[in-house]
């Protein structure tokens, strides 16, 4: 159980520089786990400080996704390099089921760079990483009935 739950809380909660380590489907809901939490901005309901603060371990739940295709679009941009110089970039569009299985099986993490919300849609710019190395940039687009942000603690002394 989660102590705090906030629905459709963007921009009061930000995923910028936050890392998801597990992504899974639960019925028509997509769940992302953030072991290091996410950010509550100064305008957030639970922020008592005049700067962003981090939560403890947290979860993001996209409620009410389509049963046929839960993720609207996934674009992975894989750059091929020669001697450290980029030669070309390929756009890969995996289907969402294959992406979720591969993501969790190969122990990738998803670092969120920026997010754009236009209810009920959200577009996330991310980096996929494996261990400590960079893998690829990606964009994930979702249309959910609601986005729930869940966490147990607020770490007022942690800014990053």
Tens of pLDDT along the chain (160 residues) come to 899 999 988 888 999 999 999 999 888 899 999 999 999 888 766 666 677 888 999 999 999 887 677 888 999 998 888 888 889 899 999 888 888 888 888 788 999 999 999 878 899 999 998 877 778 899 999 999 999 999 999 886 654 4
> Closest Cα to residue 63, out of 28, 23, 12, 15?
28
* pTM for the predicted model, two decimal places: 0.86
CB contact at 8 A, 38 and 56: no
CB contact at 8 A, 102 and 80: no
pLDDT score recorded for residue 32:
95
* Structural element, H or E, at residue 105: helix 96-105
pLDDT score recorded for residue 158:
54
**What is the C-alpha to C-alpha distance for residues 71 and 67, in angstroms, rounded to an integer?**
10
Contacts of 143 (CB under 8 A, 6+ apart): 65, 66, 72, 120, 121, 122
Residue carrying the six token digits 């009920």: 120
Contacts of the segment 121-127: beta carbons below 8 A, 24+ positions apart: 121/72, 122/10, 122/62, 122/147, 124/15
CB contact at 8 A, 159 and 51: yes
């Amino acid at each position: 159980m989660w102590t705090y739950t906030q629905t459709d809380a963007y921009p009061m909660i930000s995923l910028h520089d936050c890392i998801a380590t597990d992504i899974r489907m639960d019925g028509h809901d997509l769940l992302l786990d953030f072991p290091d939490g996410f950010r509550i901005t100064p305008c957030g309901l639970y922020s008592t400080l005049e700067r962003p603060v981090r939560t403890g371990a947290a979860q993001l739940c996209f409620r009410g996704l389509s049963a046929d295709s839960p993720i609207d679009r996934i674009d992975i941009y894989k750059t091929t390099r020669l001697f450290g110089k980029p030669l070309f970039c390929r756009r890969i569009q995996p289907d969402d089921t294959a992406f979720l299985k591969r993501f969790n099986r190969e122990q990738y993490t998803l670092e969120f760079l920026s997010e754009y919300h236009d209810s009920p849609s959200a577009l996330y710019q991310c980096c996929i990483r494996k261990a400590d190395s960079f893998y690829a940039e990606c964009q994930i687009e979702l249309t959910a009935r609601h986005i729930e942000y869940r966490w147990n603690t607020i770490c007022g002394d942690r800014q990053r």
